[in-house]
A = this chain, B = another copy of it.
Amino acid sequence: MGDLAAEPGLGGTVRLYDVDEEAARANQAVGRTLAGRKGVVGRWEYQAVPSLAQALDGADVVILSILPGPFEAMAIDVHTPEKWGIWQTVGDTVGPGGIMRALRAIPAYQLLGREISRLCPQAWVVNYTNPMTVCTRTLSAVFPGIRAWGCCHEVFGTQELLAEVAAQAFGVAPPPRQEIAVNVLGINHFTWINRASWRGHDLFPVYREFALAHRDTGWKDKHQEQAPAPYFVCNHRVKFDLFLRYGWIAAAGDRHLAEFCPPWYLSEARSAQDWGFDRTPVSWRMADAAAKRERSRRIIAGHEALNLGPSSEEGVAQLKALLGLGTLTTNVNLPNEGQVPNLPAGAIVETNACFRATEIVPTLAGPLADPILALVLPHAVRQEALVKAVIARDRDAVFSIFASDPQVPLGLNHSRGLFDSMLKALAPWLPTDF
């Protein structure tokens, strides 16, 4: 809402739909507080609607951002595997937690894809929900003609780190992250950078020095102080370790990167802390959500003003470009048509793309280097298989994927035990035909 309010070139109607109607209405109320406020230059009408069909019918743009199941379910995703000695930092992308979350998210995205196909097939569709890759992939699997992409701000954080590195190396103030030109390739939350420059200066040599200097102690950037909780600390030691292993820059927070790797950073309960980051307990998320709901109430009641500062997301800038107001090259998640030729065709990959009037065209990011490919590809293959398996409601196929995730280094019987116990606990939120 803040980004829309600050953008003079756009206007229109935002229909708000939520499975919790009350929440949609609260958002409507928040949105309406903006009209007439100083600094609000975008003209938007906010309107809560009671059904998905009403939200989608004839829409030009669809923005998807859901929680697949309540935090009670996420608590099972994240914490049940701890009883089997599996320690997840986020638990929403891969690993036992990511797979269980996908079991809830994919059916929801099947419905979304079908309804978009029926009600607004030409709409631009932006996805913000995790697991980003499988949600976005479900849309293109269900409705191959969909004009959808996925947005994630993790790469931006790495650009900011590189801006800091550039600042130190060249004795300047940290440039805005948009000045850090990077070639991005990989899959969401396990994305890599193989070229980075600032104003024509290659940043790889200086990043190497920086990584060597901070490999053991880590680097606490300014975001650390702003982190909403200690659980979001990231001092980049995983990133530096991966750079020293492979020579490319891993471009996501350490909490995400760790979950894709062999048992290097999360094999024991205290590994994360040893590496300078932390596992986020779902109890914190619950408390945080309650606080946000309370804040929303206060805003509606006029006891608190909505902060209009820019978000860290780029969705509004992207829409502007698609509507013909300038061009933008940035990293997004799109089906692989060859932009990363050694990842599977059709899989959702994260690379740069050019946004301009009426089109999003990915750039040719090129192949992943061999040893990195060996890390990334199994995840991409499993994600492709997972979408297929969940769409087919094929429990055996899902288990076979679950049991070969690197975060499930268990014997077959234990894998089965964990799988079954998670499914049982999560049964209220699973599709009935699964």
Chain A residues within 8 Å of B, Cβ to Cβ: 181, 183, 195, 197, 199-200, 202, 241, 244-247, 262-264, 267, 323-324, 327, 329, 337-339, 341-342, 344, 352, 354, 356-359, 361-366, 370-371, 373-375, 377-379, 381-382, 384-385, 388, 396-397, 400-401, 403-404, 406, 409-412
A/B interface sample: 17 pairs, CB < 8 A:
A195-B359, A199-B357, A244-B412, A263-B263, A337-B341, A338-B338, A342-B344, A363-B363, A364-B364, A370-B381, A370-B384, A370-B388, A370-B401, A371-B401, A374-B378, A374-B382, A375-B378
| B364 and A382 form a contact (CB under 8 A) | no
- The interface residues of chain B lying within 8 Å CB-to-CB of A202 are 358
The number of times this chain is found in the oligomer is 4
Check A359/B183 contact, CB under 8 A, given A264-B411, A409-B262.
Answer: yes
Q: Which of B241, B244, B364, B381 contacts A377 (CB 8 A)?
A: B381
Contact A377-B377, Cβ < 8 Å, known A262-B409, A357-B197, A363-B364: yes
C-alpha spacing A366/B334, complex, angstroms: 14
A364 near B381 with CB under 8 A, answer no
Determine if A181 and B337 form an interchain contact, defined as CB atoms under 8 angstroms apart. no
Do B200 and A358 touch (CB < 8 A)? yes
Question: What chain B residues lie within 8 Å of A262 (beta carbons)?
Answer: 404, 406, 409
Question: Which B residue sits closest to A366, measured CB to CB?
Answer: B337
Which residues from chain B contact A397 at a C-beta distance below 8 Å? 371
Which chain B residues lie closer than 8 Å to A409 at the CB level?
A: 262-264, 267
Nearest 9 Cβ contacts at the A-B interface: A338-B338, A370-B385, A374-B378, A200-B324, A374-B381, A361-B363, A200-B357, A371-B400, A362-B364
Task: Specify which chain B residues have a CB less than 8 angstroms from the CB of A244 in the assembled complex.
Answer: 412
